[in-house]
Amino acid sequence: MPKRPRVAVWKFASCDGCQLSLLDCEDELLAVAEAVEIAYFPEASRAFGKGPYDVSLVEGSITTPHDAERIREVRRSSKVLVTIGACATSGGIQALKNFRNVRELIATVYARPEYIDTLTTSTPIRDHVPVDLELRGCPINKNQLLELLNATLNGRRPNLPSHAVCLECKQRGIPCLMVTQAIPCLGPVTHAGCGALCPAFARGCFGCYGPSDAPNTVPLAQHFRSTGVDSGTVERLFLGFNANAEPFRTQALRMSLGAEAKPSTSKGES
């Protein structure tokens, strides 16, 4: 058997949910542990194997000067760097601070603000170092993680479609919630991967997987407005786990500026 690839799992500003998806692999966990060497995974093991690593899975966003340095070290010691989850790929829910005055926020929350050393923004890993692949989701889908590891081990391309959630929804045969119940759903502009989890339970898509590869947010927001959803609610829809992802951020700003009716300038257009 060829040498097992050495895998490291890193945490930045995040909730650990994506790392837990790896532990959640239950049935497949033993097979994974046999196929790869988990060299560094503080969440799961006391072994702290030194680099270099073949694959680094990085969870979390960059919110402190210290982390901005640490991610460079991780990059230096990793052949392949994969970000896992909304925090690492777009900045996460904590990127809501990017829209606010952080000094004021800290003063509101902490009794001794001077103890807090934080950047004014929460930013994705790709803003700091080159990233080889991004796994979307809040949290990531364990099947996608397994697919990534599987594809890496077998030297093939992972099957991780970047189109809209609607295709997964249609494959499952779920009658569209927008059409049957006028429920605002971010599925048409959201990256696939969850298997249309929320629409399957009659909830509109929350956009956990961030923007699809060609999101046309303007007509979607206009449509929400035309079905009676107020502008603030539409703005908040886009200010979720991927608020800092460019297409969602821009659409939220359009809403807050009352510019939602402006023609689309999104990249999908020619």
Query: Can you give the binding site for other proteins, defined by CB under 8 A?
Result: 28, 31-32, 35, 146, 149-151, 153-154, 156, 159, 161-164, 166-167, 170-176, 178-181, 185, 187-189, 202, 213-214, 216, 218-220, 223, 263-264, 268-270
Residue with smaller CB distance to other proteins, 104 or 213: 213
Instruction: Compute the half-sphere exposure of residue 190: CA atoms within 13 Å on the CB side of its CA.
Output: 33
Q: Do strands 37-40 and 6-11 pair parallel, antiparallel, or not at all (unpaired)? A: parallel
Tell me how crowded residue 193 is: count the other CB atoms within 10 A of its CB.
22
Q: Of these partners, ligand SF4, other proteins, none, which one is at the site of residue 196 (CB under 5 to 8 Å by kind)?
A: ligand SF4
User: Judged by CB under 6 A, how many residues of this single chain contact ligand SF4?
Assistant: 13
Per CB under 6 A, 234 contacts ligand SF4: no
Peptide bond into 139 cis (omega under 30): yes
Q: Of these partners, other proteins, ligand SF4, none, which one is at the site of residue 265 (CB under 5 to 8 Å by kind)?
A: none
Q: Of these partners, ligand SF4, other proteins, none, which one is at the site of residue 167 (CB under 5 to 8 Å by kind)?
A: other proteins
Q: What is the DSSP string of 227-258?
A: TT--HHHHHHHHSSTTTTSHHHHHHHHHHHTT
Piece of the chain touching ligand SF4 by CB under 6 A; list 15-23, 128-136, 140-148, 184-192: 184-192
The distance of closest approach from Cβ of residue 105 to other proteins in the complex, given in angstroms and rounded to an integer, is 34
Per CB under 6 A, 196 contacts ligand SF4: yes
Q: What is the DSSP string of 9-52?
A: EEE-BS-SHHHHHHHTTGGGHHHHHHHSEEEE-TTT-S-B--S-
Question: Amino acid identity of 66?
Answer: H
CA distances in angstroms from 76 to 38, 44, 51, 205, listed in the order given: 18, 23, 9, 37
Q: Which residues bind ligand SF4 (CB under 6 A)?
A: 165-166, 169, 174, 176-178, 185, 187-188, 196, 199, 205
